[in-house]
Amino acid sequence: MQVFVQAFTGGFAKPDQPPDIVNRLLGVVERSQATGVAIGWNPAVDYRPLVERCHDRGVQVYLWLPVFSEYGAAARPALDYRGQPHAAAQSGADDDFSFACPSQTTNRQLVGQYYDRYFAASGFDGVMLDKIRFSSFGNGFRAGLGCFCPACAQAYADAGVDVTRLIARLDQPDKAWLTPQRRRDWGYAYADPMIDQFYRARADLIGRAVAAVAAPFRRRGLGVGLDVFAPPLAYLVGQDLASLAGQADFLKPMIYRVTDSPAGIPYETAKLKTELTAAGCPIGQRLEDLWATDDLAGQRPYEDQLAGLAGLDCAVLPGVEVNRLPICATSADYVTASLAAIERVGLAGAVLSWNVLAAVVYPS
The answer, yes or no, to whether residue 307 has pLDDT greater than 70, is yes
Side-chain-facing half-sphere of 43: CA atoms under 13 Å: 14
Chain segment 194-238, per-residue pLDDT in tens = 999 999 999 999 999 999 999 999 999 999 999 999 999 999 999
Average pLDDT over residues 152-169: 98
Using CA atoms, how far apart are residues 225 and 227, in angstroms rounded to an integer?
A: 7
Contact predicate 215/227, CB 8 Å: no
pLDDT band at 18 (very low <50, low <70, confident <90, very high): confident
Q: Name the residue ranges covered by the structural domains of the chain.
A: 2-353
Euclidean distance between CA atoms 139 and 80, whole angstroms: 11
pLDDT at residue 74 greater than cutoff 60:
yes
The H or E element spanning position 303 is helix 299-309
Integer Rg of the chain from CA = 20
Residue 15 has what pLDDT? 61
Report pLDDT for 86. 85
Helix or strand holding residue 199 (H, E): helix 193-219
Report the pLDDT averaged over residues 111-140: 97
What per-residue confidence (pLDDT) applies to 67? 98
Q: Which helix (H) or strand (E) holds 171?
A: none
pLDDT, tens digit (0-9, with 9 covering 90-100), for 275-292: 999 999 999 999 999 999
> Nearest-5° angle of CA 331, CA 285, CA 178?
120
Beta-carbon contacts of 154 under 8 Å, excluding residues fewer than 6 positions away, are none
Q: What is the largest CA-CA distance in the chain?
A: 61
Task: Give the number of other CB atoms < 10 A from CB of residue 26.
Answer: 18
d(CA 115, CA 108): 13
Give the alpha-carbon dihedral of 330, 332, 337, 339, to 10 degrees.
90
Length of the chain: 364
Q: How confident is the model at residue 95 (pLDDT cuts 50, 70, 90)?
A: low
Mean pLDDT across the chain? 95
Domain covering 2-353 assigned CATH 3.40.1190.20 in the classification: no
The pLDDT of residue 19 is 78
Identify the weakest region by mean pLDDT among 1-15, 40-54, 171-185. Answer: 1-15
Residue-level pLDDT at 88: 66
When pLDDT is cut at 50, 70 and 90, the band that residue 96 belongs to is low
The pLDDT of residue 295:
97
Report the alpha-carbon distance of residue 147 to residue 152 in Å, rounded.
Answer: 6
Mean pLDDT of 171-184: 97
Q: 136, 274 in Cβ contact below 8 A?
A: no
319-321 and 349-353 beta bridge pairing: parallel
Determine the Cα–Cα distance for residues 234 and 199; give it in Å rounded to an integer.
Answer: 11
Question: At a CB cut-off of 8 Å and minimum separation 6, what does 90 contact?
Answer: none
SS (H, E, C) 9-64: CCCCCCCCCCCCHHHHHHHHHHHHCCCEEEEECCCCCCCHHHHHHHHHCCCEEEEE
Section 60-64 average pLDDT: 98
Burial zone of 239 (CB within 10 Å; 0-12 exposed, 13-18 middle, 19+ buried):
buried
pLDDT given at position 245 = 98
Is pLDDT at 184 greater than 80 in this prediction?
Answer: yes
Distances (CA, A) of 212 to 58, 106, 107, 149, 206: 30, 11, 11, 19, 10
Phi, psi of 248 (to 5 degrees): -125, 155
pLDDT confidence of 364, banded at 50, 70, 90? confident
Residues paired with 37 in a beta bridge:
5, 61
Q: How far is CA 178 from the centre of its chain?
A: 22
